[in-house]
A and B are shown apart, each in its own frame.
Chain A
Amino acid sequence: MRYKILTVDDSKTVRIIVKKAFKSYDCDIIEAANGVEGLATAAKESPDVILLDVTMPVMDGVEMLTKLKSDPALKGIPVIMLTAEGGRDNVLKIAKIGVRDYIVKPFKEELLVEKVGRIIDLKPIGDGAQAKAKSIFDPASILVVEDKPAIVQQIQDGIKHTPWKIIGVNTTGEAIDHCSKTPPDVVIISLSLPDEAAFTLFRLLRTNVKTKYTPIFGLVVKTDTTVLQQAQQVGFSSIVTKPIEAQDLEAKIAKAMNLDTSERYFATEDNILLMRLPENTTPGVVAEVTQYLKPKTADAVDSGICRVVVDLHALKHFDMTVIKLLFTTMQTFRELALQYVLVGNSQIVTECKGFEDTKGWQFVDSVEDAKAQLNKGAPVLATAG
């Protein structure tokens, strides 16, 4: 359900500022220029929140608020006064009529979003609340709250091949400052910060509209099961254990950000679908590739591609999960009548010959050779040299 925010203000400027403030959130802004229009619109649209000015022509905000609160159908709509009228007596008088909150002009857009966000569950526009970056190759920022610089360095080194930027801060105060200025895509908090600071920070970030949906990871020593369980109960998005395994961390970040990682394994070059397996094709990687295999192949077929290169030259060794994946892959290609060529290194070729089921597989040395083979017409599967 899309939330509706009604702004009642005689100033078009204020109504534009309100629209601007919420433009990146999944909600509709409805406008009214005075209390009479405001009441009529409230009755028609049933908004989830009303932002109400005081000084307006035709019917002012106090009168509209009074009428709203005396109407059984409308009295439940939360009202935030957004007005230049901010003297103590005024505020007290209006508060008695029943307002949820009060913002005195001038105001920052962030404050407006924060106060409305306390009433309705504001979500940023987009596919998945937290996904700013869609692809694994898009830049993203990761805030690491850790008082041990060596750990921050370890994380930086572990994922330095990604376009992600790691920002390390020592304290929760610095983390809050950073999040209020530039909300990161992921936050990693050391659970060993003193005085349970990690849990306090977690709660603060969750109550802030800007970081409400940001994935928050806990960083903990593997053996510290008590803290680990506590973090899971509190609702940390994921737990990263020390010693940190970079590949595991990278996968968790990609998953939390709902990133499309398929480009790591699938690409289109010269009207040929290229499928690559990395050097370390772990069961996690196999699972990812399996998940993308059918949709990526279907996309290729839909766009008129009928040739595939399966590039295994970086692969260090086979195991059963990889072999199973390759059987599935080749079966898929055959079903769709796709021509394919395998690229392998000498190690892989040797290993293939050692298994009954794979000894007949044939390889070429490079992607260029494979493309040349495919361009000649029917693929010729050669043994790697």
Chain B
Amino acid sequence: MPTSDHISESVFKDTITHAVQNVFKTMFNATALLAEEPQTAAHDATENTRDILIEGQLVVGTVGFIGDISGLIYLYMSAPFANQLAGHILGMTEEELEESGDEVVNDAVGEVTNMTVGVFKNQLCDHGYPCKLTIPSILRGSNFSIEPITSASRRIYRFKIGTNILVADLLMKQGD
């Protein structure tokens, strides 16, 4: 059975870049630019936190994929950027969003993550790695770090969307 070990770095990079760009172009009419080369296999929590490099409160969406290939993708963004995305996708003003509370923003970020991971994993499916999406979840806070288990490979990709930063943190289960 094929595992993520058989997939080259360039395929990961191209696949996640296409996914982020597709979602932001289609849903927000925005261009996402891959900012720098990915940081791979960095398991140290301090190092990981440094790679995220977004200040202030973060909103993090996560969706997994399970099947012939399994993993998780976290999308990190600042709280103001999350609000901006939610306002655009829902057609709501800042005041309306504030009135509705974090739940609405969380749901929108969850959906953006779901779409992004969907596009990512659909490409993997078409490359011969069938898998299914899991239900999205959301983390909010500051000064926290995600620590993957040692058997997982990790790649972090930073995207610039206008003046905002979006970080895609890709954790893949490695072959048994």
Residues on A close to B: CB < 8 A? Answer: 10-14, 16-17, 20, 54-57, 83-90, 104-108
Q: Using known A-B contacts A55-B135, A87-B130, determine if residue A104 contacts B122 with beta carbons closer than 8 Å.
A: yes
What chain A residues lie within 8 Å of B152 (beta carbons)? none
**B91 and A20 contacting across the interface, CB-CB below 8 Å:** yes
Most central of A56, A86, A104 by chain B CB within 10 Å: A86
The digit string for B85-115, where 1 denotes a CB below 8 A from any CB of A, is: 0100111000000000000100110110011
Which of B19-27, B35-43, B160-168 is found at the contact surface with chain A? B19-27
Q: Using known A-B contacts A13-B108, A84-B114, A85-B118, determine if residue A106 contacts B135 with beta carbons closer than 8 Å.
A: no
- Say whether chain A's binding surface is mostly helix, strand, loop, or mixed: loop
What chain A residues lie within 8 Å of B119 (beta carbons)? 84, 86, 106
**B107 and A12 contacting across the interface, CB-CB below 8 Å:** yes
Q: Does B33 interact with chain A (Cβ within 8 Å)?
A: no
**B125 and A84 contacting across the interface, CB-CB below 8 Å:** no
Complex: A46 Cα to B175 Cα, angstroms: 48
Shortest distance from the beta carbon of A331 to any chain B beta carbon, whole Å = 55
- Residues facing A in B57-89 (CB within 8 A) are 86, 89
What chain A residues lie within 8 Å of B124 (beta carbons)? 87
Residues on B close to A: CB < 8 A? Answer: 22-23, 26-27, 86, 89-91, 104, 107-108, 110-111, 114-115, 117-119, 121-122, 124-126, 130-136
Most central of A54, A89, A105, A108 by chain B CB within 10 Å: A105
Q: Would you mind naming 13 contact pairs between A and B with Cβ atoms under 8 Å apart?
A: A10-B135, A13-B86, A13-B104, A54-B133, A55-B114, A84-B122, A86-B122, A87-B125, A87-B126, A90-B132, A105-B118, A106-B27, A106-B119
**A11 and B110 contacting across the interface, CB-CB below 8 Å:** yes
**B122 and A13 contacting across the interface, CB-CB below 8 Å:** no
Complex: A181 Cα to B131 Cα, angstroms: 37
**A89 and B118 contacting across the interface, CB-CB below 8 Å:** no
What chain A residues lie within 8 Å of B22 (beta carbons)? 106
**A87 and B107 contacting across the interface, CB-CB below 8 Å:** no
Complex: A342 Cα to B141 Cα, angstroms: 79
What chain A residues lie within 8 Å of B115 (beta carbons)? 84, 105-106
**B118 and A84 contacting across the interface, CB-CB below 8 Å:** yes
Q: Which of A14, A17, A85 contacts B122 (CB 8 A)?
A: A85
Q: Using known A-B contacts A86-B118, A104-B118, determine if residue A13 contacts B111 with beta carbons closer than 8 Å.
A: yes
Q: Which of A17, A84, A89, A104 contacts B130 (CB 8 A)?
A: A89
What chain A residues lie within 8 Å of B133 (beta carbons)? 54-55, 84-85
Complex: A13 Cα to B115 Cα, angstroms: 12
**B121 and A106 contacting across the interface, CB-CB below 8 Å:** no
Shortest distance from the beta carbon of A129 to any chain B beta carbon, whole Å = 24
Q: Using known A-B contacts A11-B107, A13-B107, determine if residue A106 contacts B122 with beta carbons closer than 8 Å.
A: no
Complex: A106 Cα to B108 Cα, angstroms: 13
Shortest distance from the beta carbon of B164 to any chain A beta carbon, whole Å = 18
**A87 and B26 contacting across the interface, CB-CB below 8 Å:** no
Q: Which of B86, B104, B108, B121 contacts A87 (CB 8 A)?
A: B121
What chain B residues lie within 8 Å of A11 (beta carbons)? 107, 110-111, 114, 136
Determine the residue in chain B with the shortest Cβ distance to A56. Answer: B135
Complex: A183 Cα to B5 Cα, angstroms: 50
**B132 and A85 contacting across the interface, CB-CB below 8 Å:** yes
Determine the residue in chain A with the shortest Cβ distance to B127. Answer: A87
**B90 and A88 contacting across the interface, CB-CB below 8 Å:** no
**A14 and B126 contacting across the interface, CB-CB below 8 Å:** no
